[in-house]
Amino acid sequence: MSPAAATGPTLHRPALVVLDSPEAVATAVAARLLRHLATEPRPVLGLATGRTPLAVYDRLAAAHGTGTSFAAVQSFNLDEYVGLGASDPASFAHYMQRHFFDRVDIAAGQGRVPDGTGDPATVARDYEAAIAKAGGIGLQLLGIGTNGHIGFNEPGSAFDSRTRLVTLAESTRQANAPDFPRGTEVPREAITMGIGTILEARQILLVATGAAKAEALHAAFHAAPDPDCPASALQLHPRVEVICDCAAGRRLWSA
Ligand code: F6R
């Protein structure tokens, strides 16, 4: 073993659950979130947008319909496009309102998304302060980009990065173009929680479905952590769970 390896950080393997279908993944992820809420008097969730968690929010809304309360929950979303406000249907604030906040009894103002219309440096600083004031994030939900991004931390992001203004990778802009009206440009910049911010969550739940995520998941956990694959930073965290379907997990250890 080289001296560098001998003194390097401790690396961890995530707990892995591979399920048959995206529907089974959504059910398991929602159940995991609900278990967390049941054990925490004042839960603080980190939340994600994108296609993957849509069915999770459906299940959480259904749980609310059968009596689960989200009144004690505070949440912090990972990211937002610069320039988009909550009234813009392509914004993540609008997505969260539509798919989650409006469907449960989370208290007004307790579901937070970085403000894409504010001065980015101020928004980022205030967001970090609000997370700290809430006592830190108890459970962080993450998706993964095909390029290994988590939040909008694109390849090359430092593992100790904090909430900040970032430039989106072209592949990310293309992947998210269907969420924008035809002829509208996908913003080039975003505000995202940093990798360092994400790693401070006490527990992390990474969710992936579909064959397009298989390479990114493999790169995240089957090689040494490397900023070229931002999700590989999750190896530095002792309490990461990965819930994925067989298509996304086909290149992981036991799948
Ligand atoms: C979303 C986010 C992104 C997505 C990722 C996967 O808030 O931060 O990292 O989780 O781009 O997106 P989907 O689920 O659409 O494949």
Pocket residues: Cβ below 6 A from ligand 1: 48-52, 78-79, 143-145, 149-152
Residue 7: what pLDDT? Answer: 76
Q: Rounded to two decimals, what is the model's pTM? A: 0.96
Per DSSP, 39 falls in state H
Distance 51 CA to ligand 1 centre (A): 7
Domains of the chain: 37-135+147-203+222-241 (3.40.50.1360)
Residue with CA at minimum distance from ligand 1 atom 2: 151
149 belongs to the catalytic site:
yes
Residue 107: what pLDDT? Answer: 98
Residue with CA at minimum distance from ligand 1 atom 11: 145
Residue 173, exposed/middle/buried by CB under 10 A (0-12, 13-18, 19+)?
Answer: middle
Of 77, 80, 99, 147, which one is the catalytic site residue? Answer: 147
Ligand 1, residue 213: give the atom nearest the CA.
Answer: 16
Q: Tens place of pLDDT for every residue, the chain, 255 residues? A: 555 556 789 999 999 999 999 999 999 999 999 999 999 999 999 999 999 999 999 999 999 999 999 999 999 999 999 999 999 999 999 999 999 999 999 999 999 999 999 999 999 999 999 999 999 999 999 999 999 999 999 999 999 999 999 999 999 999 999 999 999 999 999 999 999 999 999 999 999 999 999 999 999 999 999 999 999 999 999 999 999 999 999 999 854
SS (H, E, C) 91-134: CHHHHHHHHCHHHCCCCCCCEECCCCCCCHHHHHHHHHHHHHHC
Residue 148: what pLDDT? Answer: 98
Of 99, 149, 218, 237, which one is the catalytic site residue? Answer: 149
Angle between helices 54-65 and 92-99 (to 10 degrees): 40
C-alpha angle 101-241-218 in degrees, rounded to nearest 5: 110
Of 154, 176, 200, 237, which one is the catalytic site residue? Answer: 154
Given the DSSP bridges, would you call strands 74-77 and 44-47 parallel, antiparallel or unpaired? parallel
Distance 68 CA to ligand 1 centre (A): 26
Distance 6 CA to ligand 1 centre (A): 35
179 belongs to the catalytic site:
no
Distance 93 CA to ligand 1 centre (A): 14
